[in-house]
Amino acid sequence: MRNLLAGLFKAYAILAAWAVALLILVVAVLTWKGSLTAPRVEAAWQALRGRQAPVEHVVEKKPADSVSEREQILDKRSQELQKLDERTAMRLALIRAEQDTLDRKRQEAAAAAAEAKKAQEELALSKSDAELSANVPILSRMEAPGIVSVLRTGDDARFVRYLRALRPGKAADVLEALRTDPQFEDDFRRVPPEAPAGTRPRADRLLEEFKKAP
């Protein structure tokens, strides 16, 4: 009987030692994780003793504190918006400067093109005047139908320029040939079938242009 009691006591001691070790391990783990704090230990101890644990007072934020935080957030956002506006304004200024540069270059290119066109027209006119001066004496010795045959392939403006350079009597003979000579019926007195509606015969256009002041 004595041996049995000794064995039971020994087993109880071993179980108690294991329980204490397990309790120490749990307390260590909870303390390491932050779940076991001094107020909670005190509250548990008081509960075991049958006493009411002290109530922790939660400090509530004052309305003034909340308003101050909101004002800080609004100020921060306002500063961010102001920086964004400044970057946007700077970008717009750069775009306007680039646009102004492009417009200036476009104007310079247009002016250069107009000047080149004018020079080309002046060169063509000088060549035309030289050609006119060289050809008028030759045409003056030709009959009216021959003159029309030479000038018929050119445009109306060139035709009229040569008419004005001829003697008035020779120019009148040319216009009469345009009006009456049968060989010029198709080219000068008829309107091509494919011409737009309202197109006048070429002889009429030449006569009208000839009557205008040079």
Domain boundaries, the chain: 2-48, 64-126, 142-211
Task: Inform me whether the pLDDT recorded for 77 exceeds 80.
Answer: yes
Q: How far apart are CA 190 and CA 193, in angstroms?
A: 9
Residue 138 clears pLDDT 90, i.e. is over it: yes
30 has a pLDDT exceeding 50: yes
Note whether 162 and 136 are within 8 A (CB).
yes
In the structure, what pLDDT confidence band is assigned to residue 91 with cuts at 50, 70 and 90? confident
Rounded alpha-carbon distances, angstroms, from residue 98 to 57, 86, 93, 102, 103:
66, 18, 9, 6, 9
Query: What pLDDT score does 122 carry?
Result: 47
pLDDT of residue 137 exceeding 90, the answer is: yes
CB 205 within 8 A of CB 170: no
pTM greater than 0.85 (yes/no) = no
45 pLDDT band, cuts 50/70/90, is: low
Q: Identify the sign of the CA torsion 108, 111, 115, 117.
A: positive
pLDDT at 14: 74
More confident residue, 207 or 214: 207
Tokens for 67? Answer: 């308003």
Greater pLDDT, 149 or 50: 149
pLDDT digits (tens, 9 = 90+) for 150-179: 999 888 989 999 999 999 999 999 999 999
Print the SS3 string covering 64-99. Answer: HHHHHHHHHHHHHHHHHHHHHHHHHHHHHHHHHHHH
pLDDT of 143: 95
H helices of 141-181, where? 144-151, 156-165, 168-180
Cα–Cα distance measured from residue 22 to residue 25, given in angstroms and rounded to the nearest whole number: 5
Tokens of 13: 């001691």
Instruction: Give the confidence band of 29 by pLDDT, cuts at 50, 70, 90.
Output: low
